[in-house]
Amino acid sequence: MLQTKERTAIARLWNRKLDQDAASAPKQERHRNLEPASAEFLCALVTGVGARRVIEVGGSSGLSTIALAAAVRETSGRLVTLEIEPTRQAESRATLGSLGLEGYVDYILGDAAGILPKLNECDFAFIDCEKEDYIRFFDLLKIGPGGIVVADNILSHGLSEYVEHVRSRPKVESITLPIGKGLEITRFL
């Protein structure tokens, strides 16, 4: 469960994102944070399945990172979060530090394309980066039986190619949930 101060930090990031959208800020300046309802769901899902080795692809300024870090605090796990843009990752570090969550997180700065092949197997992964990279990064993840991959923006961006790809894999179950911008939940059997 998220604590009140964590929900407050999520609301602050989300309100800034809404302000940036309203001002039509250029894409490179926008933080494109996860919807708060999706963050709550991610936290509940990771906690509920007891995932301990969690990877996040596209941490940005840390909204979803707060939710995943709060979850691994409950499961006695660890979160590895990847972000290519240094100022966003620095902001995430500062925010999670102020919430007492930084100790649950390994921050890696760089391109997930080069980093994911070096990471070990995980129980849970969250993909929230550039949409054209989703399939490639899904395939780079090492997920064992019982592991789960969640991808955001499935409905907002019409990511049917990603959905078809994950559902064509043997030994997976996958559903789209209309939470926030649409989450694809893929479970390895």
Ligand X SMILES: C[S@@+](CC[C@H](N)C(=O)[O-])C[C@H]1O[C@@H](n2cnc3c(N)ncnc32)[C@H](O)[C@@H]1O
Chain residues in the site for ligand X (CB under 6 A): 31-34, 58-64, 82-85, 88, 111-113, 128-130, 133
CB of 74 to ligand X, least distance (A): 19
CB nearer to ligand X: pick between 25 and 173: 25
CB of 19 to ligand X, least distance (A): 15
Q: Where are the beta strands (DSSP E) in 11-77?
A: 53-57
Beta strands 78-83 and 53-57 are: parallel
Residue 98, classified by CB atoms within 10 Å of its CB into exposed (0-12), middle (13-18) or buried (19+), is exposed
What residues contact 123, with CB distance under 8 A and at least 6 apart? 49, 51, 52, 53, 54, 77, 143, 144, 146, 147, 148
CB of 77 to ligand X, least distance (A): 18
CB nearer to ligand X: pick between 53 and 88: 88
CB of 113 to ligand X, least distance (A): 6
CB nearer to ligand X: pick between 95 and 174: 95
